[in-house]
Amino acid sequence: MFRLIVQRVALAALALFLTSLITMAAVEALPSDACAAYLGREIQPAALQKCREKLQLDRPAIERYFIWTRGLLSGDPGVSLNSRRPVGEVLIQRIRNSFLIGGLAALIGIPLAVFLGVYAAIRRERFPDLAISILGIASMALPEFVTATVLVFIFAVSLGWLPAVALISANSTIPQMLPATILPVAVLIVVMVAHVMRVTRTNVIDQLDSEHAEFARLRGVTGWRLLVRHVLPGAVPATIAVCAYTLAWQLAGVVVVERVFNYPGLGSLMVDAINNRDLPLVQTTVLVFTAIFIGTSLLADIAAVLVNPRLRRRSS
């Protein structure tokens, strides 16, 4: 088992390394640079040169990469070219905000999805299952921005219950932010629930149809006992896997959602940074994003191994 974990961690490190390289390469390839973007079009070459020197943009790319990496590893990822504030400071708040909506979505969405999946599996082919399945397919088909737009329309524009755009800043306290989180969380939940529910349903059905469930029934095991002791445990590893996969994939959705609602999170920070050619910010943001993504997958893999007795102990 340890072998597997070590493998995964090594893989994660490789992925992060690749990420940093690609990010660097991509931003380097951008036609203009931070100074040009910041100072605007009509600038004198002297001012541009001075800006570049100050921000170390005149050094070769490889050198800048090492400066940045060194800084990162020692806890100082540089300064945002755009806002002149330390990257770390900016990041922490944004991460907190994104985790807020992501976390709420997960806390509500996953239990809901698992419950719906198990219920649909038990009532296979009957009305509850059909209803749940159709809703599932429909919500999977909706891109986040469509769902977001629809929800904004219903709740903000028509009913006026909630604000369409979050009038908060990155620094607001959590209680201040909560009302603004409702719609983003709702959108995230819709997609998450659809995926997790569908996979859970398939897994539970597989278990219900399995030989060991059949044998259990032939031994007189019925009802709750059958479900809880013989059916569900087998469905757990795959469900955990899909939960983690969905959570991780949600990060991509978060970018869109934050954009739609102007929510000050990590995703919108990243998009802005790209548009501003703010290299240190882009690099670090992307790296953090990816690290969270990979970390979640890693936790899922480990959880799946722990839960599966076959992988936990070696078979004879």
Q: Which is nearer to another protein, 24 or 113 (CB)?
A: 24
- Which of 128, 121, 273 is closest to 203 using CA atoms? 121
Q: Which is nearer to another protein, 22 or 92 (CB)?
A: 22
Q: What DSSP state is assigned to residue 109?
A: H
Helices (H), the chain: 2-29, 34-39, 45-54, 61-73, 87-122, 127-141, 144-151, 174-208, 211-218, 223-225, 232-261, 266-275, 279-307, 309-312
* Least Å from the CB of residue 270 to another protein: 8
Q: Which is nearer to another protein, 29 or 62 (CB)?
A: 29
* Least Å from the CB of residue 173 to another protein: 28
Q: Which is nearer to another protein, 6 or 92 (CB)?
A: 6
- Which of 290, 274, 298 is closest to 17 using CA atoms? 290
Q: Which residues contact 266 (CB under 8 A, 6 or more apart)?
A: 91, 94, 95, 97, 98, 254, 258, 285, 288, 289
* Least Å from the CB of residue 47 to another protein: 25
Q: What DSSP state is assigned to residue 220?
A: T
Q: Which is nearer to another protein, 47 or 150 (CB)?
A: 150
Q: Which is nearer to another protein, 189 or 286 (CB)?
A: 286
Q: Which is nearer to another protein, 10 or 174 (CB)?
A: 10
* Contact (CB, 8 A) for 185 and 101: yes
Q: Which is nearer to another protein, 56 or 308 (CB)?
A: 308
* Least Å from the CB of residue 50 to another protein: 26
* Least Å from the CB of residue 252 to another protein: 4
How far apart CA 266 and CA 180 sit, in angstroms, is: 16
The amino acid at 160: G
* Least Å from the CB of residue 137 to another protein: 6
How far apart CA 105 and CA 182 sit, in angstroms, is: 10
* Least Å from the CB of residue 14 to another protein: 5
Neighbours of 205 (CB within 10 A): 18
* Contact (CB, 8 A) for 266 and 254: yes
* Least Å from the CB of residue 251 to another protein: 5
How far apart CA 71 and CA 196 sit, in angstroms, is: 39
* Contact (CB, 8 A) for 98 and 170: no
